[in-house]
Structure 1
């Protein structure tokens, strides 16, 4: 598959997962309303070919299912995401191989790193049309306004590229931008993000910060940019590791930055430290409108694009949304990395209904008292994105953490609130979380829902109910003999507790 947006759209169409909309539509509210309904139903990606006021098509909902996220990363099934996580984990914390097989495996990972090195294009497609100065007009871009209370039109799936003024190291992030005029936008990023750090450094040096916005890139690069894993590797290298070959980059026309050569649209500009405008409100991933915040103003002086460019966009909101599907896939990638940093963790899960990061359920192989609390504390500090996880529930390894019935059973049958619930007050928090008493400062809760051992309890724990293994196997073998062959039982985990009846499919 070609490593660009058009190649991915072609793949989706070949697999029956792209619907072209030729009827006229409005980028103001209408596109988002259509897309939102299909997202909720797990529907196909959409390409709107007749958007009012522009001749540029709009693509949306490309990553609206976990299956399509896997395809974007050149995988056919979610299991391969964990294989990628193991590869990244080896690079993050390399250990001397103890066996020849381990040495061979590590050698393969290093070879993958060599192949992932970015390449440079001298005649990139993104420079087929170049507009500078007064020719720059952001109104040509069919930016959407998703919700009626939104302050204006936004860019949501743009790669925001900046460079550390001190070291020259680039940062690639995905941040929301609000159009302010025909050549300016405000960028909304958290203070801990790479772009914000670069702006602070530029301010200390009395310099402007150069910025490039790449729109309509290979979705695989978007996944790499959305992966805040603490490895001293660039997002370009991550994308190369994800895709198995190096990303093709092109030098910008007016700023000293590089962008994906096959980008559909590229905006080049600068931020003057201290120059801000009100940004928002906008509907966000929490399911509410955010607050109005003064945000850095980007002044654009160059716009380049491919001939007949395609504008790729999405929007936030209460799940399911595309960002939630991306988070589910990233969850699978994080799992091996998290196990490497916190060995007692068997598995972890970030429920989509909890916004894919506000609550985590982790299972551990419990060996000593207090281990559940230790695991929760280690989880919060393991990766940057877990800083804003509000609730962590720790369960025993035999609990299926993706089955809410089992998790609730563990909480209600194994937790004494006074002993097993602990709260960390006044910790750094997401400014979009209105439940916090102070924006940017909130508490987090850990719940130990594991079986208690001495001295956590001074009495013997009850034995969980389980089926007799021999009888269970006998019933499985005689299922058709009972006249029930037309009723298919879902696969049953032998470690599941006997109180549960497996669901029946007709």
Structure 2
């Protein structure tokens, strides 16, 4: 059972304490919170997320970290808050690009932080430096209850709200839920862009499953072992450090969003003797129920691509592919069967 209420769609705004005027380093993200009292919240700053970097810098200086918590936001900023952007990429600027006009923001009256214009409720306060208390358990996006852990403490100093504010919540748990539809596409796109920038051979990234704990990546191959290098890079992207636990690599003619094609690649191209790459004692977010201890796991790359030189394993011949007219035949036969009396 959960120990307290979690405002699931609350977004937390914070700035880099060492570079507070850098708009790009200001972070807008969703983090698990537990209401613990009238002016007190527990907050989980996942170590791989930007807010954890902000908090670490503040605590090194012995300072509290000012934050603003916004509830009832524009859906576009909700999407951006769940998107794993680069550290110096602004969620507001990307939201503006999607809107094709600057994203409207307001100044929070106490902290001076930039908050989404039109939010229903704004809570301002600080994450108290070097203070931890038990937070949780809580039903999480992994489909499991997470345990109670020592987490940061938030002190609320000011509350602002619209007349008759509307409270927005979020349904999450065993997939598929609302949060999977929110986070899935927002995880696929940044991973694809980051990999494509370094490996133009990458064709598509499917990270729809449990916020990318499993990713399926299709790529062309420059040489033997290339697909595995792409898989390793996926695990070391900003998002991959905490989430990409398993990667299935497939050829460029396999659609990673088409699971029958992926299953075909796994069943026909994988030799367990050489196509499984296990990486011990890697980082993952603590909420991964399979990690032991929490936050540490072995990671796995499954290479389901066709070997190319100098990797000459196996005896792969010409793939059996449909003729161009096959689709038309199938549609005609389907129509004939449907019209049978």
Please give the TM-score of this superposition, normalised by the length of structure 1: 0.62
**Is the 1:342–1:378 contact (alpha carbons within 8 Å) kept by the matching residues of 2?**
no
Map 1:47-62; keep pairs closer than 5 Å. none
Which one of the candidate residues 178, 185, 196 is aligned to 1:339? 196
Map 1:77-156; keep pairs closer than 5 Å. 149-156=1-8
Structure 1 residue ranges without an equivalent (≥5): 1-148, 488-506
- Asked if 1:183 corresponds to 2:39, the answer is yes
**Is the 1:230–1:384 contact (alpha carbons within 8 Å) kept by the matching residues of 2?**
yes
Corresponding residue of 2:297:
442
- CA offsets, 1:22-71, max 9 Å, x none? xxxxxxxxxxxxxxxxxxxxxxxxxxxxxxxxxxxxxxxxxxxxxxxxxx
**Is the 2:48–2:239 contact (alpha carbons within 8 Å) kept by the matching residues of 1?**
no
Corresponding residue of 2:79:
223
DSSP-derived class of the 2:111 partner: coil
Map 1:286-435; keep pairs closer than 5 Å. 286-331=142-187, 333-334=189-190, 335-352=192-209, 355-381=210-236, 383-387=237-241, 388-435=243-290
* CA 1:164–1:452: 2 relative to 1, 3 Å: closer
For the pair shown, the structure with the greater C-alpha radius of gyration is 1
DSSP-derived class of the 2:205 partner: strand
Displacement of 1:457:
2.9
* CA 1:262–1:405: 2 relative to 1, 3 Å: same
* In structure 2, distance between residues paired with 1:236 and 1:183: 28
* CA 1:483–1:293: 2 relative to 1, 3 Å: closer
DSSP-derived class of the 1:384 partner: coil
* In structure 2, distance between residues paired with 1:372 and 1:209: 41
Corresponding residue of 1:19:
none
Q: How many residues align?
A: 333
- CA offsets, 1:165-202, max 9 Å, x none? 22104221111211111111111121232222222222
* In structure 2, distance between residues paired with 1:379 and 1:485: 46
Structure 2 residue ranges without an equivalent (≥5): none
* CA 1:437–1:232: 2 relative to 1, 3 Å: closer
- CA offsets, 1:429-474, max 9 Å, x none? 121122123211111111111112344235642332234546x377
* In structure 1, distance between residues paired with 2:83 and 2:324: 43
* CA 1:230–1:464: 2 relative to 1, 3 Å: same
**Is the 1:210–1:256 contact (alpha carbons within 8 Å) kept by the matching residues of 2?**
no
**Is the 2:188–2:208 contact (alpha carbons within 8 Å) kept by the matching residues of 1?**
no
Corresponding residue of 2:125:
269
* CA 1:164–1:400: 2 relative to 1, 3 Å: closer
* In structure 1, distance between residues paired with 2:87 and 2:286: 26
* In structure 1, distance between residues paired with 2:67 and 2:54: 10
What RMSD over aligned residues (CA atoms) do the two structures have, in Å?
A: 2.3
Map 1:246-265; keep pairs closer than 5 Å. 246-265=102-121
**Is the 2:126–2:154 contact (alpha carbons within 8 Å) kept by the matching residues of 1?**
yes
* In structure 2, distance between residues paired with 1:376 and 1:483: 43
* In structure 2, distance between residues paired with 1:316 and 1:250: 30
- Asked if 1:201 corresponds to 2:57, the answer is yes
Displacement of 1:295:
1.5
* In structure 1, distance between residues paired with 2:328 and 2:162: 65
* In structure 1, distance between residues paired with 2:183 and 2:226: 27
- CA offsets, 1:340-387, max 9 Å, x none? 2321111121243xx131111111123421122122112222x31122
* In structure 2, distance between residues paired with 1:483 and 1:196: 58
Which one of the candidate residues 137, 140, 143 is aligned to 1:281? 137
